[in-house]
Amino acid sequence: MSFSTTNIHWTSSEHSSTTLKIVCYVAIALLSVFLRPAPNSAFPYHYEPGKIWTYETLVAEWDFPIYKDETAFRQEQAEALQSYAPCFRWVNNHRANVPILSARDMRQVEQGGYHHITVVNRTRRTQTIPLSQLYTPKMAYEQTGREMAVNLEYDSLTSAQVKADILESVSPTEGAVMRGEVIAEHGQLLTEETCRRLASLEQIYSDRGFSRQHIIWSYTGRALVAFLLVGLLILFLVAFRQPLWEPLRFTLFLCLLIAMMEALSLLVLRFADASLIYILPFAWIPILVRIFYDSRTAFFAHLTTVMLISLSVPDPYLFVLLQIPIGIVAVVSLKDLTRRSQLAFTAIYILVAYAFLYSFYNLMLAGDGSHLDWRPYLYFALNALLVITVYSLVYVFEKLFRLVSSLTLVELSNISSDLMQTFAEQAPGTFQHSLQVSNLASEAAKSINADALLVRTAALYHDIGKLEHPTWFIENQNGGDNPLTQMSNHDAAQAVISHIKAGEQFAAEHHLPEVVRMFIRSHHGTSLVRYFYNSEVNRLKQAGLNPATHIHEADYRYAGPKPQTKESAILMMADAIEARSRSMETYTEESLNDMVEQMITLQIEDGQLEETPLTFSDLKRIKQVFKDRLKSMYHHRIEYPKVQD
């Protein structure tokens, strides 16, 4: 399988040490380890009423009580406290016929809603006095006409003890689970009763707690799993995607993308309902990696991310079961990304896949669809909407890492754009040449599984520099005078060479991606401008001079660089062959085949292809495509018969 070289970078100065790249991957592994807080319970199960028990059948290993629901327990305690009355003790004249409280105590009794108080004497015997029989000093004076002192004082200690006794009288448990009893059966729909049993068992685990040693081992185990997963991703890149492993920029891109999804997961798992994890668009990873690089790398990156985050989600089995197929759907739906509307269709496919997977999973466990929860479907819909927003992330990553997506290439290859229209009007011959080179090069790229879209786009712009002086080039002269004939061979060669620098300037002014500018710089490599070089050699020989001592060959060579990739090499070959085909006198199968062989052999002998990864097998396929395409372009046409008189 091939992969895109669009965003494989060109200079060795951009490659970092292996150590720095490993640090980036270790960082995302460690981040996944700390997605959840340190465990405070050894209970390894996640459960909710109305959900399916996806684990193996759980059997009680010992007897334990069933704790009441917290809300119900608190309600029972509140009902029991209705019998409570604040306690007072006699002070001063405890034999007084009129019980008198301070105004403050009377106010608190009334505000507390109590209908009576309990009076405790020195022998701890109690007496209940209704609120209607209690007085304050003021009330007693108004009733009897005599001043009376407070003789009842609030007893806070006794009141607290009485209240505690009432609360303790309410049992926090109801029933028990005996050893060997089934708590939850695999595939069972969890009821409120079953969840209370599970909550009771979880409470037992929680009371035991996790020792410091247990916490350390838990983190260690999670870290080892995370390092193994990240290590497998690195192994894939080193073994099968070496051109991607080398640039630091790719490592930063991929690690930032994974870290972004881990960070979003952390926010959900720590500060929200864990089920909201399904709103997060994990498909962003395969989509973005596919857009900028290739499908296989996209899936491996997605698989690694899902497995890392599954270490922290409540139901890892369901999470992995849903997310892995979603990655496959995202990659497959973007196999040939040629228009932005495909992202909308991808989001729809992802929504449908989520819905079917979740429904089938619940059907498999429950045996029917009567217990399906509607909330996950809402989460999946929100997820699909977020998937569409990946378009904005494409722009961000393009600017942040100086990448170029296939979407951008599609836009650049639009020949109706303003720049292309200007090109066609001011340099029509060069524009037509670029179109032909684009067709030749893209077909050749397809034959060796290179990036055909990149080559097609770059070919349209490779000669854009000729816009500066279009009439200097024969394809734009329409049989008129050639200004280059009025120059010396040296100056004419320099004039031709100057279209490279002019092309770079045009590309910069119109904000063309760096990868396209590289094609502009390298499509002639360091080759000779042979027409003027040979003309100068012949002129010197006719003048009786030695060309070797009077010609600086470097003045007749392009500055380069030579092609570094298969795509740039294909463009160089297609450019030379298309240009040469226009100057042929006869177009036969034999002459076209000979011309293709001659031009490519000349470039090989001149060392122009020595820095590319092309193989002999690649060259054989490319030559055959060029020959076939040229034959179709210059095929013999039937001469129409004339009407006889």
Does residue 97 form part of some domain?
Answer: yes
Domain boundary among the residues 368, 400, 432 is at 400
Q: What is the mean pLDDT of residues 298-303?
A: 96
Per-chain mean pLDDT for the chain: 85
3-state helix, strand, coil in the chain (%, to 5): 60, 5, 30
Length of the chain measured in residues: 645
Same domain assignment for residues 164 and 250? no
pLDDT of residue 410: 85
Same domain assignment for residues 102 and 79? yes
Q: Pick left, alpha or beta for residue 607 (phi over 0 → left; psi -120 to 50 → alpha; otherwise beta).
A: left
Does residue 363 form part of some domain?
Answer: yes
Residue 9: pLDDT over 50: no
DSSP for 287-298, written as a single string: HHHHHHS-HHHH
CATH number at residue 417: 1.10.3210
Same domain assignment for residues 450 and 588? yes
pLDDT of residue 581: 87
Same domain assignment for residues 463 and 600? yes
pLDDT of residue 218: 75
Contact 65, 189 (CB under 8 A): no
Confidence of residue 225 (pLDDT cuts 50, 70, 90): very high
Contact 372, 362 (CB under 8 A): yes
Find the domain containing 324 and state its range: 12-39+213-400
pLDDT of residue 209: 54
pLDDT of residue 95: 53
Which range is least confidently modeled, 98-102, 175-179, 418-422, 481-485? Answer: 481-485
Does residue 64 form part of some domain?
Answer: no
Contact 340, 407 (CB under 8 A): yes
Contact 148, 96 (CB under 8 A): yes
Does residue 63 form part of some domain?
Answer: no
Contact 96, 134 (CB under 8 A): no
Q: What is the mean pLDDT of residues 80-104?
A: 82
Per-residue pLDDT tens digits for 226-264: 999 999 999 999 999 888 888 888 999 999 999 999 999
pLDDT of residue 444: 95
pLDDT of residue 12: 42
Of residues 568 and 179, more confidently modeled: 568
Q: What is the mean pLDDT of residues 397-410?
A: 85
Same domain assignment for residues 23 and 155? no
Q: Alpha-carbon distance 307 to 332, whole Å?
A: 20
Does residue 54 form part of some domain?
Answer: no
pLDDT of residue 214: 65
Q: In what order do the strands lie in the sheet with 152-154?
A: 126-130, 116-120, 87-90, 152-154
Does residue 202 form part of some domain?
Answer: no
Q: Alpha-carbon distance 86 to 104, whole Å?
A: 14
Domain boundary among the residues 376, 400, 424 is at 400
Of residues 335 and 403, more confidently modeled: 403
Of residues 279 and 583, more confidently modeled: 279
pLDDT of residue 51: 78
Rounded to 5°, the CA angle 422-402-567 comes to: 70
Same domain assignment for residues 297 and 321? yes
Residue 93: pLDDT over 60: no
Does residue 198 form part of some domain?
Answer: no
Same domain assignment for residues 396 and 418? no
Tokens representing 170 are 């309410």
3-class SS at 269?
helix
Per-residue pLDDT tens digits for 534-559: 888 898 888 888 888 888 888 888 99
Does residue 611 form part of some domain?
Answer: yes
Residue 379: pLDDT over 90: yes
Residue 14: pLDDT over 80: no
Same domain assignment for residues 485 and 507? yes
Same domain assignment for residues 236 and 353? yes
Which range is least confidently modeled, 86-100, 184-198, 303-317? Answer: 86-100
pLDDT of residue 368: 63
Per-residue pLDDT tens digits for 504-513: 999 989 888 8
Same domain assignment for residues 421 and 510? yes
Domain boundary among the residues 353, 376, 400 is at 400
pLDDT of residue 1: 42
SS3 readout for 452-501: HHHHHHHHHHCCHHHHCCHHHCHHHCCCCCCHHHHCCHHHHHHHHHHHHH
Same domain assignment for residues 388 and 424? no
Q: Alpha-carbon distance 347 to 351, whole Å?
A: 6
What is the pTM for the complete model shown?
0.67
Residue 446: pLDDT over 80: yes
Domain count, the chain: 3
Q: In degrees to the nearest 10, what's the CA dihedral of 561, 562, 564, 568? A: 100
Same domain assignment for residues 231 and 345? yes
